[in-house]
Structures are given as structure tokens and as C-alpha cells.
Chains A and B, each alone.
Chain A
Amino acid sequence: MIGIGLSLTGVRNEFSPASLFANGEQGGIWLPSPETCFTDTAATTQAGAGDAVAGITDLSGRGNHATQATIGLRPILAREPATGRRNQLPNSRGDGAAIGVLGAGGALPTGWSISGIAANAVEIVSIAQKNDLPRIRVRLNGTPSGTVFLNTISPSAGVSASTGQIWTSSLYYERVGGTETNISTINVAIGESDIAGGAVSASLSDSLLGHVGNVRRSVTRTLTGVNTARTFMYLRFGISGGPIDVTFDISAPQLENSLTATNVQITGVNGADVTEAGQPDRWSFFGGGAANPRWMQSPTIDFTGTDKMTVWAGVRKLSDAAAGMVVELSASTASNNGAFALSAPNSAAANFSYASKGTVAAEAVASPFAAPISAVLTAQGDILGDLSRITVNGGSPVDVVADQGTGDYGDYALFFGARGGTSLYFDGHCYGIIVRGAATPLATIQRTERFMANRTPRVTLP
């Protein structure tokens, strides 16, 4: 009896969003993860971090699974720690590295580069784990032409940054063979450059020369360039002349917008896969705005039995440069009656918005919420009751009570990440979307917000 009682208590305390659909409500639950996402539209091959997703399962039981047939338009399934991504390097893990001399079978990790020494004097000796972190063993054996730069990210690609920001670069280094003869200094460095990759200036860490053992070294820089658009990091070998022969391990390079080097995060698949020891994974869809549009579409969903709607979404908005659609009912709220649109933002502005429309659209706009920003969005629509409401992170709702005309919501597809698949491409991450064709009591709204906040890094509800 006691056991049953405890079990029931546990069930009562555990909220499942599927309960939102227990009374036949229309809609769906789309929560990106390897369990729900597939790389084929037939939903036979599970997706992993960094994969382009062809289909996602609707968990509501309504069968409204969303798909994207065009390979190049599929959202990228991304993973990050529950605390959010800090390491902005796209490939700290060393994906793409190959053992051997560069140009003769060997290869640096994708996106890394080396200069100041001939490629045939650089050898990838081995690739392995060290203290549970991926490490690459490199041998430099030749006569450098000058200072040797081992870039863990292309300085031209870099990481978007701006003047005044404080960034820290760090990595683990250990000399494991050879000597330091003709090497005058070894530093972790952080640089900044303008949009064309020019006007480089940098800061250096304390020298690693003569250090014994595996050491994490970091350097922090306040970006100062008037036109600075990027930051990047590298391992720097000052050369005093003549040949060198040194073998070293490098692991866990990290570049972060921080005053200090924080816990190591390992990044791969061009930044779509970020992990941190001790932190649970959080999964999302990534789409890159108009330059990198990625979106999905549900089957048509018959909302004609209701004029009330509740929508939840966990997002990280990366840009306010142009309007981006999180989810829209029908190909365009502008041209269809009985539609809604949840936008991030609704124009080139620092906002979130929800527009609900019977025959007339009424839009609630919450601002300022400047990108980059993470948020749990809750939208409520009531056509006959003339309510458009948007709530950001469980705060004070923004209500618009203007007339929405008449009618119910329509029988349309939902579009995720774009308007009709042709414009208003969302730039950012989406951690989950729930659309429920009904009004929802406040307590249930708040429980669902907590559920969504738990999936959405960097969001804390009141």
C-alpha cells in the first residue's frame, strides 16, 4: 500500500505535456532530440548532434509529425549543456584530424591551421583521450620561417565579437617529446580582427616554456579595435632561430566571452555539438536566418473547432536583423484568416510577438528583448474574446484586446522557422514548441512554462 501511495504521489507531481491533449484538443508537441528526430522523412534513421533533420515526431498523440523534404533546408539538430554554450570554437574536439605528416596523409582538425613552418615539418603523431578530454599530439620538426601560429579556428572565420567585450582563450598544453631548443616562448593567444580579417592585434598568456606536466593556460583580452568584428585564438611559438623539434599535446581549446576560463566545454560538428562534463544535454533545432534558412512543416491541422489557442516555445534568438518566424499557422497570417504567428522578432527590432487573427489580425509585441537572448514564450489567442497575449519567461503578459473579427482558427499546416517556407527565416535555436488548440488555465500554462524552461538553457522563470 505504501509503495502504491508513493507511486501515485510521484505521478501527481510529474507533469507531462501530453496531458494538454487528453480531451481531444488539436495541436502537437515537438521537442527536438535524437529520440524524436530522424534524418529521413520515413522516420527510420535517428538523428544525432549536427545532423540535418528530415522529420520530427509529434509527441501529443495527434500524429502531426513535421517534416522537411529538401535536404539543404532541414534544421540542424544541435546539442549543448544545460548551462548553455560558452565555448564558441566550432571544433575544439579535433574533428577531421588525421595521423601523419601534413600533406602526406596527416591533417589538422577541420578549421584549424598552422603557419610559420612548412607543412612537411608538422606531424599529427596521435589522437587520443587525455584526462577524459580529446587531445592531439603534434610534432614540429623543421626550421620555422618565423613565429609559428597554430590556429584552433581560422582567424578569418573567427567568432563574432565587438569592441569593449572581454574574451578569454584557454587550452591544455604539455610537452611530451623533443626539446625547446630555439624556442623563445610558448603562449596561448587571443586576437581580434575586423570584418575582412585584417587589423589583427592580440594578447598573450604567460609563457609555457619550461613548464612540466599538463597545464591549462589562459589569457583574457578586452577587445579594443574600432572596427573589431571577430575574435580568435591560437597557440604561439616564438622562435629564436634555427631548427626546432618539439612534440606536444594540445587539448580542450576554449574561446569564451568571459572574464576567466570556465569549465571545459568540448565542441564539434561546426559548433552543433557542445558537451560539458557533469551537465545534462539540451537539444534544439538550429536555423540561420535568411542566409541559412532551415524550417519544417506539419501536416494540415484542423483547428476549425476552436477560436482559442495556446502556444509555448523555448528559443534562443541570435539576431534582430530581420523578422523571424518561430511558428505560424498557415502559409501567412497576413493573407489567411483564422491564423496566428509567433515571431522572434516581428521586424528588424528587439522584440518577440504574437499575432492572432480571425478576420482581422491583432498583434501583441513584447520588447525590448535584444538578441542574443534565450526565452520561453507563451502565446494565447482568443478570436471572439479579442485577446492576443504574449508572455516572456513567465513575466508580465503583454495583452492586445483589439478586434480580431470573426471565425475560428483554420485547417492549415504549421510552419516552424519560416513564413510559408519562403521568407521570415528564424535565426537561432528552438528547444521545443507546443501548440494547443484551446484556452489553457493559468496553472497549466505555468507548469508547461516550467517544463519548457527546463529544456531551454539560460532561462530562469520567476
Chain B
Amino acid sequence: MTIFIPTAVPATLASDANHLAMVHGKSLDDAKMWANPMWADAAGNLYVLRQLWAPEWWIHRVSTIEPTRPEWDTDVAVDLAAAERARAALDVLTFDLEADSSIYLARPDRAVAIIGGGPELFELVMVDGDQ
């Protein structure tokens, strides 16, 4: 079943993450997946906050399968090394009240996806959402 999966990607990892998005996407357009970092943590680090619309198994596959060149990428536009850096920096967490009620803060060195939670769990504030 397709669900919303909130993700927080630090701005410094966004470029790598977009190469990973292209690996699992369908065209160069998927390089726009994590764009416009407009959220910040308490230390001022910038993030792209996005909710993916995908099956739960898909995000697990993204986080565990070594990136390979997608069939559509005949121009060799996807940087597989960047995609692998993003994959290695991706944490897929499952929010479970009974097991752990702690808040999942965004991390400046990791990309985080949370299954079963909402984007507020990252405790980020919008810094560039208006104009």
C-alpha cells in the first residue's frame, strides 16, 4: 500500500539524494525531488523536508539496494557514486509509540525517513517558505 513517508535531507546531502531519486525514478526530472531547503533545525542547519508517496517496501529497497544505472539513463547523467553516498547516509526509521515515543530529530549528517510518523517529528522550522 502506498503511504506518506516523511523525509528530512540536509541541504549538504540534497544533491546526492537527488541522484538516488533518479536511480529509482524515471527521468532527469527526478533530480528535483529534494530541492529548495527551506527548513532549519535549532542549530541553523538547512534541510529539505519532503513527504514521499510510495509503498513502504520501496523506501526499504532504496535504502538497501546498491544503486545501479536506470535504463532510461542512456546519457549517463546519474552519478552512481553520489547516489551510493546518499544511500549510505539514509536512515529508514519506523515510528512506534509502544516501542519508543522519542522524537526523531533531523540530523545534519544523515538523511532520515520515518515510516508511520509525520513531518513534525523532525522538529524543523520553516525559514524560507514565504516569497
Contact A70 B50 (CB under 8 A): no
Could you tell me the distance between the alpha carbons of A202 and B71 in the complex, rounded to whole angstroms? 52
Residues of B within 8 A of A110 (CB): 1, 3, 56
Nearest CB on A from B50, distance (A): 7
Say yes or no for A50: interface residue by CB 8 A criterion. Answer: yes
Q: Which of A190-198, A359-367, A400-408 contacts B (4 or more CB under 8 A)?
A: A190-198
Instruction: Enumerate chain A residues within 8 angstroms of B39, measured Cβ to Cβ.
Output: 290
- Chain B residues, CB < 8 A from A322: 126, 129-130
| Smallest CB gap from B24: residue in A | A71
Residue among B25, B52, B97 with most chain A CB within 10 A: B97
Contacts of B113 in A (CB 8 A): none
Q: How far is the CB of A346 from chain B (nearest CB, A)?
A: 9
* Interface bits A57-86 vs B (CB < 8 Å: 1, else 0): 000000000000111110010000000000
B75 sits at the interface (CB 8 A): no
CB atoms of B131 and A334 under 8 A apart: yes
Contact A115 B98 (CB under 8 A): yes
The reply on A348 being an interface residue by CB < 8 A is: yes
Whether A270 touches B2, Cβ cut-off 8 Å, given contacts A71-B25, A157-B116, is yes
Q: What number of B residues sit within 8 Å (CB to CB) of A?
A: 40
Chain B contacts for A288, CB-based, 8 A: 4, 51
When C-beta atoms are compared, the residue in chain A nearest to B130 turns out to be A323
Residue A422, interface by CB 8 Å: yes
Tell yes or no: B81 within 8 A of A by CB. Answer: no
Q: How long is the Cα–Cα vector from A71 to B2 in the complex, in angstroms?
A: 14
- Whether A154 touches B116, Cβ cut-off 8 Å, given contacts A71-B26, A111-B3, is yes
- Residue from B2, B27, B120 having most chain A Cβ neighbours under 10 A: B2
- Residue-wise, chain A 318-336 has the 8 Å CB interface mask toward B (1 for contact) of 0001110000000000100
Asked whether A195 lies within 8 Å of B4 as measured between CB atoms, the reply is no
A182 at interface (Cβ–Cβ under 8 A)? no
Where chain A touches its partner, the secondary structure class is loop
User: In the complex, what residues of B have CB within 8 A of residue A193's CB?
Assistant: 97
Provide the B112-131 mask, 1 if CB < 8 A to any CB of A, else 0.
Answer: 00001111100000101111
Q: Give A342-400 interface residues, CB cut-off 8 Å to B.
A: 347-348
> Taking A72-B21, A156-B101, A422-B35 as contacts, is the C-beta distance between A348 and B51 under 8 angstroms?
no
B49 adjacent to chain A (CB < 8 Å): yes
A163 at the interface (CB under 8 A from B): no
CB-CB < 8 A to B53: which residues of A?
52, 72, 76
* Contact partners of B118 in chain A: CB under 8 A: 157
Cβ-based interface call for A113 (8 A): yes
Residue of A72, A270, A347 near B130 (CB, 8 A) is A347
A154-B130 CB under 8 A given contacts A111-B3, A292-B119: no
Report yes or no: A423 in contact with B33, Cβ–Cβ below 8 A.
no
The one of A50, A113, A323 that contacts B129, using a Cβ cutoff of 8 Å: A323
Contacts of A91 in B (CB 8 A): 1
Q: B41 interface residue, CB < 8 Å from A? A: no
Is B10 engaged at the interface, CB distance under 8 Å to the other chain? no
Q: How far is the CA of A72 from the CA of B34 in the complex (A)?
A: 9
Is there contact, CB below 8 Å, between A291 and B119?
Answer: yes
Against A, the Cβ 8 Å flags (1 = close, 0 = not) of B46-77 are 00011111001000000000000000000000
Contact yes or no, B4 A156, CB < 8 A: no
B1 contacts A291, C-beta separation under 8 Å? no
Contact across chains for A290 and B97 when beta carbons are under 8 A apart: no
- In the complex, per-residue mask of B83-113: 1 if CB is within 8 Å of any chain A CB, else 0: 0000000000001111001110000000000
Of chain B, the residue at the smallest CB distance from A286 is: B53
Bound CA span A195–B35, Å: 27
Residue from the set A52, A71, A269 with the largest chain B CB neighbour count within 10 Å: A71
Q: How far is the CB of B29 from chain A (nearest CB, A)?
A: 4
Q: Can you list 27 residue pairs at the A/B interface with Cβ under 8 Å?
A: A71-B25, A71-B33, A72-B30, A72-B52, A91-B1, A110-B56, A154-B95, A156-B95, A156-B96, A157-B116, A157-B117, A198-B101, A270-B2, A270-B3, A270-B4, A290-B39, A290-B49, A290-B126, A290-B129, A292-B4, A322-B129, A348-B130, A422-B36, A423-B36, A423-B131, A424-B129, A424-B131
Interface residue ranges, B against A (CB under 8 Å)? 1-4, 6, 21, 25-27, 29-30, 32-33, 35-36, 38-39, 49-53, 56, 95-98, 101-103, 116-120, 126, 128-131
Given A50-B2, A156-B116, list of 19 further CB < 8 A pairs? Answer: A69-B27, A70-B30, A70-B32, A72-B21, A72-B50, A73-B32, A155-B97, A195-B120, A197-B101, A269-B1, A270-B4, A290-B38, A291-B6, A291-B119, A323-B130, A348-B130, A423-B38, A424-B129, A424-B130
